[in-house]
Structure 1
Amino acid sequence: NFLRFIQVVIATPGRLLDVLENRYLSLDQCTYVILDEADRMLDMGFEPEVQKVLEYIPVTNLKPDTEEAEKEESIMENFYSKKKYRQTVMFTATMSPAIERLARAYLRRPAVVYIGSIGRATERVEQIVYMIGEEK
């Protein structure tokens, strides 16, 4: 019952599946799904778990499947609506066949963004961490 009003869940595929299967958590109203390091999860053999987690997210959620639905006016209308589009985002360093299969199965109108050259580390990307105290 303590998971009833949760807004953000960060979990490994196995742990998330555990709480879903035991009905401690429901993704019925989930509107954002982010898979970070998707390629690494699949490389480590978690593809079945990732697919099971994605299957817990209702397919009946509205989805922007036209260019009209992606216009600013439609997006803002969706933002204030109780029924929201589900947005699924995958971050991956490589686009292996397994990642492409996963994207085709669970993403609608995906956008692919490449940074730097394919197959090489990008020297121009700078990562910065800002430590912020609790008072801020």
Structure 2
Amino acid sequence: MTRLHVMNRSPDPLTCTHVAFRAVNLAPDGHQVTDAAEFDAEMLSIAPCTEVIYSTDRMRISGERSDDRDERFDFRRMEISNIAIVFVDRDGVRWMRNVGGLKPIGWKTRPAIPRLSGTPTIHLTDGLPSVKRIAECGSTY
């Protein structure tokens, strides 16, 4: 089972949190994409020193031809790419963390994963992701 872990290692809460990624299934040869979907979730906040866990056993496909894609999309073989996390810190500064690192972004910037026409959306089936406290808590976001 694949899981996406989002950690707030800061002693301060993160607000206006937005998590997005693109997921693909690869053919057995590991090169050709057989199906793709996008995950887009907003959370009001992530408490200090907590880990939010999105588990694929609670994910389903929605959007165009969702019934057909839910059958074909294999969450066990899901490869995650283009992940982006946007949040606001205690000082009201808006940040984005992605593969390029952590950087402050303006309020007019709309960070998003480029959407593919007709690509369905992954959603959680039963509400919120799992949340747990983490032992390692410093000052890094």
* Class of the TM-score when normalised by the shorter of the 2 chains: under 0.3
Higher helix share: 1
Higher strand share: 2
Q: Which has the higher contact order (CA 8 A, sep 6+)?
A: 2
With the length of structure 1 as denominator, give the TM-score of the two structures.
Answer: 0.26
With the length of structure 2 as denominator, give the TM-score of the two structures.
Answer: 0.26
